[in-house]
Amino acid sequence: MSTHNLEDMGCGTSSVKDMRSEQVLKAALVIQNWYRGYSTRLKARQRYALTVFQSIEYADEQGQLQLSNFFSFMLENYAHIHEKDPEIAARLFGSTLQDYKDRQDYVAFVDVPNSYNGPRLQFPLTFTDIDLLVDAFKQQQILHARYVLEVLFETKKVLKQMPNFTHVKTSPSKEITICGDLHGKLDDLLLIFYKNGLPSGSNSYIFNGDFVDRGRNSIEILMILFVSFLVYPNDLHLNRGNHEDFMMNLRYGFTKEILCKYKIHGKQILQILEDVYTWLPIGTIIDNEILVIHGGISESTDLNLLHRVERHKMKSVLMPPTPLDGDPDTNVKKKKFNATILPREVKTSASHSEQLTKHEWEQVIDILWSDPRGKKGCYPNTSRGGGCYFGPDITSKVLNRYQLKMLIRSHECKPEGYEICHDGKVITIFSASNYYEEGSNRGAYIKLSSGMAPRFFQYQVTRTTCLRPLYQRVNAIESSAIRILRERIIARKTDLIHAFQLQDRSKSGKLSMSQWAFCMENTLGLNLPWRSLSSRLVTTDTNGDVNYMSSFQDIHIQKPVKEAQSTLIETLYRYRSDLQIIFNVIDSDHSGLISVEEFRSMWKLFNSHYNIHIDDFQIDELAERMDLNKDGSIDFNEFLKAFHVVHKLDKLNKSGSGLA
């Protein structure tokens, strides 16, 4: 064979190989582009789901803040409140009653039986007690009420000696770890300690508020943090969050957790906790450069004033000061707390000197409730209803005013556990992973030392999520978000149908996508991307028009009283959390019972204040039906629990499991 032929054969082989390589490369690029698009779509779905979770969370907080206005109104109008229970007025608006100021006597009457096999603490506490608690809580043991009370008393005693802002120093050889919201998620705290070590003289921590609520193990987290604080008071630092507040605990679960785990002594524990919260510091300053607070700042944030304010007078961030005639602070501009319009005068058993001034109260509200945004300026935090949104210009202005370099805050769930904004001057740190749903977000903590850039450590408590592919995790998160959104929708069914029908002038039962989205946002006020969510909420025809009654398909509110009108049922369901808090405040002995007359009086006030159009005769009839054994008392917790949403899918699943 000639050389020429050999060359031809060689060229031919090379050409085939090149063609195959080119085809493989094209296929790889097609697959890569497809996967990128697929991954982008999945992330968009996850982002929308997190937006739903967060919008509903903030709407709930806004409703909680609005309760403060109602309690002012209640105290002014509830004629029998002082005769029936003067403690209510003091609890809401004043300092703790004298009977509860010194509760050390409680401990003497709480015995630890020999049969108790949980952890036994030895006072004064040492590092071995931290180990003991951690090991016991890993095994789901409950700390005896006597030890809980003793820890709370000791914690309060030490906290009372501390300033409003703790000043700490680091060095290249001594770092400090900053953790954000934990919200009762014990597994996250244990994972942090596993990765980063227990608190000690050489391993300092700052826990930046919101230790409690939402999760199932708030008391365990508090006990670990308080015991660690008592052992290492100079190395473990605690900041108050907006959930270190007895009024927030009534809505978001911690009160219920305490009363469930400590059926005999739960009331005493809750009373003492109310005091402990008020003595928690409101911030930490690291190396005179970094401000660590739970929420944020406003254009009027005055750190000098906040250093001086008598923080223990802030009983609840939801209870604004009650202005007296002639109070100079009554004219302070009400720009931060949108829901609050106070009565001219509310007479309580607490003296005016036992309250913060309106201006001081607003200052504390700002640092506990505010959120950063990209837009310049300072404007009301309409999502939460309290505090403000602050832009990068406000951050620079406040930091420069006090010669600070950075603000570290928490308060907001972030998908990656942390977020940096405002040109690196604001860091959000959030330490509760799987906050909304399993797989919804990672948790994180920060390590800092003098002269070094912050280092971020991420994690996620995993059980089954690590075994499931991404699309299954996104499906689970999205389904959960749509579920709670549909519950919001059904709670406003009557209002939404009215809004739809106003737009549907031809009475076709259909609206354009724009009209439907407008009605949803205008009625629910959740600031959601309704067009993007529509495929999971409604059906459309071939022209893209929405069959608006499909907004309520496969879901309804269970009626505990069949004869009750739909409007009343929806109203009770929508406001059930608010009503439960109000009734729990009235029920000062935690019996779970209020009189029929109290129920009628409180509902009529609620009806009037919230401008709800429910006839009195419907409420009277409802009260009669709620008094099941006709003894004049209502078990309101059980009754309100009966108002729940039934999803068709749930019924199908139950039916299927029954057949299996």
pLDDT digits (tens, 9 = 90+) for 32-84: 888 787 788 888 888 888 899 999 998 888 877 777 777 767 766 654 544 55
Q: Which of 120-134, 149-163, 170-184, 320-334 has the lowest mean pLDDT?
A: 320-334
Q: How far apart are CA 551 and CA 527, in angstroms?
A: 17
Give 609's pLDDT tier (boundaries 50, 70, 90). Answer: confident
pTM: 0.84
Cβ neighbours of 338 (radius 10 Å): 19
How much is the pLDDT for 349?
42
365 HSE (CA, 13 A, CB side): 29
Residues 120 and 235 in one domain: yes
**Residue 602 belongs to domain with CATH number:** 1.10.238.10
Domain count, the chain: 2
Helix (H, G, I), strand (E, B) or coil at 186: helix
Contacts of 127 (CB under 8 A, 6+ apart): 198, 200, 231
Over 70: is that where the pLDDT of 601 sits? Answer: yes
Residues 453 and 600 in one domain: no
**Residue 233 belongs to domain with CATH number:** 3.60.21.10
How much is the pLDDT for 422?
98
Using the 3D structure, point to which of 459, 480, 507 is the last residue of a domain.
459
Q: Which domain holds residue 245?
A: 103-322+356-459
68: in domain: no
Q: Exposed, middle or buried, 441 (CB in 10 Å: 0-12/13-18/19+)?
A: buried
Question: What would the two tokens of residue 96 be?
Answer: 């703790």
**pLDDT (tens digit, 9 = 90+) per residue, 539-553?**
999 999 999 999 998
Using the 3D structure, point to which of 425, 459, 493 is the last residue of a domain.
459
How much is the pLDDT for 617?
78
Residue type, 153: F
Give 337's pLDDT tier (boundaries 50, 70, 90). Answer: very low
Helix (H, G, I), strand (E, B) or coil at 14: helix
DSSP annotation of 552 reads G
Which residue is catalytic, options 237, 243, 312, 422? Answer: 243
Specify the residue for token string 């670990």: 224
Q: How far apart are CA 111 and CA 488, in angstroms?
A: 46
Give 374's pLDDT tier (boundaries 50, 70, 90). Answer: very high
Q: How far apart are CA 553 and CA 548, in angstroms?
A: 10
243 among known catalytic residues: yes
**pLDDT (tens digit, 9 = 90+) per residue, 458-515?**
999 987 545 577 778 888 889 999 999 999 999 999 999 999 999 999 999 999 999 9
DSSP annotation of 549 reads G
Please choose, from the candidates 595, 586, 596, 576, the residue with its C-alpha nearest in 3D space to the C-alpha of residue 637.
Answer: 576
Using the 3D structure, point to which of 459, 494, 514 is the last residue of a domain.
459
Cβ neighbours of 18 (radius 10 Å): 10
Instruction: Report the share of the chain in percent with pLDDT over 70.
Output: 82
Residues 455 and 576 in one domain: no
Q: What is the gyration radius of the CA atoms in the chain, in angstroms?
A: 28
